Structure 1
Amino acid sequence: MSSDPRDQLLAEVDLALVHALQVNARAPWARIAEVIGVDPATAARRWAAINARGAAWFAVWPTPERHAARSDAALVRVAARITPEAADAWCRTPWVLAVERTSVGTQAFVVGHGGLAALEQRIHDLVALVDDPGPVHVEYAAAVPRDDSSWRLRVLSATQVRDLSESRTPGLRAPGEEAAAEVTALLREDARMTWGAMAARMGVRDATARRTVERVLAHGLVRLGCDVAMPAVGLGRGVVVRARATPDFDPEVLVRSPSVHRVLRLVGPAEWTVSCRFTSLTELDAVERAWGPGIEVVDRWTVTAALKRNGHLLDSSGRSTGEVDVDW
């Protein structure tokens, strides 16, 4: 067993802390501490420790709805196990949101603005970074019913989650794109930036800054949460499942599955791509059976390494390196 503290599983209190921050990343430490049963100083100190070792980190994601409104997306896979240099180049390409090595090659989830022709050019440029890519598979996304931002640890009770959840003021009007972009940039810089600091940066009063952030979050322009290194929570095995479904199949069956962290509906003969996380690969059969008879699995492959997720670069153990390279 490794003696490196970065490789250790998170303690139960830390799992509860991460789940709390997934529910409400900006909740005051006093509120979080009360819910998980520690004092505020302990909650803040433990977060600083697990964040410093890359086991968990704050992240800002655009919602799938905003993806659909502003951009096109595609899943790109090359058959080759690309070189570390090419993999690093992929990860440092801002419009590549995720990169994974798998048992059938290296895949990337990419986005583009300006139509499919512009996205096609980006894909061409990406593949050109690989000396000998082998067969290249490209499938365009019709929808993203679930992305990593909605995946949660299941540590806190329903009551604890409710106590942490932020109530939204009804009737808030949608903010403009400029305001949404400004809020997104500030949250990426510091997800827990104080209202006073945020107001000073925006050149407005504290109350105005708070309302602006509330509007951005309430209208689904961005999700703010807490991501976690999968090995640190005992989920060090990943599988991608390709499937086709009957016309009456309800994709919510996939979205609600606790093991599923990403669901893509692609334009192709097997339209569903489902990414799962497990403690052991033996869990896959039970998860697929739970999806019911309306979906037919046509292929599966194992994720051997996650290199980038939602713009965050990961090390060989799936921990955050602290580097973010993303342009939604």
Structure 2
Amino acid sequence: MRTDERAPELDRLDRQLVQALMTDGRVPFSRLAEVLGVTDQTVTRRYRRLRTEGLLRVIALPAPDRVGYHQSQLRIQCVPGAAGAIADALARRPDIAWVSINEGGAEVACMTRSRSRQERDSLLFHKLPGTRQVTGVSARTFLHMFRGGPGGWHHGDLDPEQRAALRRPPGTGRGTHPLDDTERAMLAVLERDGRAGYPELAAATGKSESTVRRRLEHLTDSGIVYFDAEVLPATLGYQAEAHISAQVAPSDLDAVGRAVGSHPEVPYAAATTGRSNLYAVVLCRDIADLYEYVTVKLGALAPITNLEVTSVLRNVKRAGMLTDGTRLYDPPPA
């Protein structure tokens, strides 16, 4: 599914609604209406239109470290002309997220979320290297996240008071919590529609509505599962996306990572293994803004001694949804 159309840009109220759902994906529409200063009917109508048109999707995501998932970023070098087919094949795997074709058109980047080390290693050491169109694979593990996960990306359409009124308390649990069959069945529904009602979750699990409500509250209150609003950056006016890899002295890594994670242009930043030990995703209005971000904001961080900026040519899959460049849509069944 491909198109040459440009993703339509959302108006201010739509952008505020997206930002609010990034802050709390399951907040009641009545509360959203109160915070945004509009009627319940307006919020409901706007949300349904955005979801129906494939411009917005609320999804549930497990915190990888809490559920025992093995998470790595892969950079896959391909023969000329093969990146599209390889990216499409990876995007249809349930254990792969954030698939993009990067600058030059011969590199695919993706993130693994494997349920076991064996599942990840099978992809990394056997399936990808055994593909004749793949010429090289590199992997790095995320050690610490500076920006990303619960709470969403603050792109400036809500003021601090509105965000504070919607923000959920952070999860308080610690340690690994392997998901059981009931929780996996719930998550399978919520990964497609994070606002699915308790009757639908009860039907999917064979449990009562009170049981699935209690289970979901436990998962979210403990920080095991969180909700995010999936949207294409272009619909918010961000046409330039890049991946940043930086080399930082270990003694400076935490301070530099926190600084980069505080930048409004950065929805995700993490410390990683590898020679380049700081990774970030950067979203800017256009290439000129990206240049200014790199030279001014990153340039002011003296501990960065080496920097690689890789432009994203096309997103194929985001956290949970496939994309044709203008819309989000469900992956086919595995």
* TM-score with structure 1 setting the length: 0.84
Contact kept, 8 Å, 2:29 with 2:43, in 1: the verdict is: yes
Q: CA deviation at 1:212?
A: 2.0
Gaps of 5+ in 1: none
Greater displacement, 168-177 / 181-190: 168-177
Greater displacement, 175-184 / 156-165: 175-184
Alpha-carbon spacing, 1:44–1:126, altered in 2? closer, same or farther (3 Å): farther
| Residues 9-28 of structure 1 mapped to structure 2, 5 A cutoff | 9-28=9-28
Give the counterpart of 2:328 among 288, 309, 320. 320
Distance 1:171 1:140 in 2: 26
Q: CA deviation at 1:120?
A: 3.0
Distance 2:61 2:173 in 1: 23
Q: CA deviation at 1:203?
A: 5.2
Contact kept, 8 Å, 1:172 with 1:215, in 2: the verdict is: no
Contact kept, 8 Å, 1:61 with 1:223, in 2: the verdict is: yes
Per-residue Cα deviation, 1:123-153 (whole angstroms, up to 9, x for no partner): 2313544x4333x131221425144663233
Does 1:272 find its partner at 2:278? yes
Distance 1:305 1:26 in 2: 29
Gaps of 5+ in 2: none
Contact kept, 8 Å, 1:175 with 1:212, in 2: the verdict is: no
Tell me which residue corresponds to 1:161: 163
Tell me which residue corresponds to 1:93: 93
Tell me which residue corresponds to 2:221: 218
Alpha-carbon spacing, 1:113–1:194, altered in 2? closer, same or farther (3 Å): closer
Does 1:119 find its partner at 2:120? yes
Give the counterpart of 1:290 among 289, 297, 304. 297
1:260 is paired with a residue of what secondary structure? coil
Percent identity between matched residues is 21
Aligned length: 318
Does 1:261 find its partner at 2:267? yes
Per-residue Cα deviation, 1:197-225 (whole angstroms, up to 9, x for no partner): 44565555545433321210121111112
Alpha-carbon spacing, 1:324–1:57, altered in 2? closer, same or farther (3 Å): farther
Contact kept, 8 Å, 1:64 with 1:144, in 2: the verdict is: no
2:191 is paired with a residue of what secondary structure? helix
Distance 1:70 1:254 in 2: 26
Q: CA deviation at 1:167?
A: 5.2
| Residues 1-40 of structure 1 mapped to structure 2, 5 A cutoff | 7-40=7-40
Q: CA RMSD in A?
A: 3.1
Q: CA deviation at 1:196?
A: 4.6
* TM-score with structure 2 setting the length: 0.83
Distance 1:119 1:170 in 2: 28
